[in-house]
Structure 1
Amino acid sequence: MTTSLTIRPVHAQDAAELADLLNEIITRGSTTALQEPYTPDALAQAYLNGPQVHCCFVAEADAHLLGFQTLGRQDFLPDDIGDIGTFTRVGGIQRGIGSTLFAATTARARALGLTAINATIRGDNIGGLAFYSRMGFIDHEVVPAVPLKDGTPVDRIRKRLAL
């Protein structure tokens, strides 16, 4: 059990541990649209501190990273709308990690002048859909039947939060 949760901006040296965390989620499947594992460098470029990243925060307790939340740019979105992704350690107690990360992310998004945040969630990710709804996101768009690597079609639900 963790003693205290700290939310802080990501550091470059977090990349290896966060790649392991994300790769475990990808290997488990069913909650992320991501399907290929990440090297620490590729993860850093895409989600931690690359040129398309607005910000990334990590949740840390007892010297272990429990999750991260990234906010970046996507070509399908206007420049004033960030795209969010939230990832927490498989098998851990997740109570409050996502919402605590979200407080830091939304504060940073507002400081950057963003007007909204987009979340794209697999249609079969009930937990992810519920999490973003609890954070105040509303359904915005459905991208139907996006095939997984094995060809299985799964809708993508885009939710939006106005800032």
Structure 2
Amino acid sequence: MIHIRPAHDLDARDMAAILSQIIAIGGTTAMTGEIDSEYILGRMRTAPDASAWHVAETPEGEILGFQWIAPHDLLPPEACSIATFAKPGRQGIGIGSKLFEATKAAARVLGYRWMDANIRADNTSGLTYYQSRGFEDYGRIDRYRMADGHVVDKILKRYDLR
């Protein structure tokens, strides 16, 4: 059974560990380098009145994944950016689906009209995930240079909050 709840500061270490694991595997996120709890806490504290963070956990409290929405400098004020991360080896068990329901509700409460997902074009699982939630392609970034120098294309997907 998966439980969804708002993330809090004490979750930052586990969220950083999941994200670091995903970065180390490669191929699904444009983030590079080691992520620590201070990075997560910094992100959580940026625009706290305009963002929402949720974790998925087991009944025993093991964090299985997390999702956040936040404003982004390149988006209009009625839009937020979304990011989703599931613990490697635990994908496909409903983590993303349950997180998205909580995130959608939070986005509406925060007054957003649509969500933007910015996904590497070679991240087939991420593209499939957002497509299955109802996100639609609205743009593309060709030859995006990541912090480590790798160049990837990105697909921009949009979800209208009706």
Give the TM interval when normalised to the shorter protein. over 0.9
Matched ranges for 1:65-144 at <5 A = 65-144=63-142
Local SS of the residue matching 2:14:
helix
Amino acid at match of 2:107: A
Letter in structure 1 aligned against 2:143: A
Structure 1 segments (4+ residues) deviating >2 Å? 48-53, 147-153
Conserved 8 A contact 1:45-1:51: no
For 1:6, give the aligned amino acid: H
Residues 24-43 of structure 1 correspond to what in structure 2 (within 5 A)? 24-43=21-40
Aligned residues: 159
Question: Which digits, 9 at most, give the CA deviation of each residue in 1:34-75, with x for residues without a partner?
Answer: 1122220111211x3432661000000032000000001110
> Which secondary structure does the structure 2 equivalent of 1:86 belong to?
strand
Contact 1:10 1:57 in 2 (8 A): yes
Task: Map 1:150-161 onto structure 2 (within 5 A).
Answer: 151-161=149-159
2:16 aligns with one of 16, 19, 22: 19
Structure 2 counterpart of 1:90, which letter? P
| Letter of the structure 2 residue corresponding to residue 51 of structure 1 | A
Pick closer, same or farther for the CA change 1:93–1:134 going to 2, 3 Å: closer
Q: Percent identity?
A: 38
Q: Secondary structure at the match of 2:139?
A: strand
What is the alpha-carbon root mean square deviation over aligned residues? Answer: 1.4
**Residue 159 of structure 1: SS of its match in structure 2?**
strand
Report the TM-score when normalising by structure 2. Answer: 0.93
The equivalent of 2:46 in structure 1 is 50
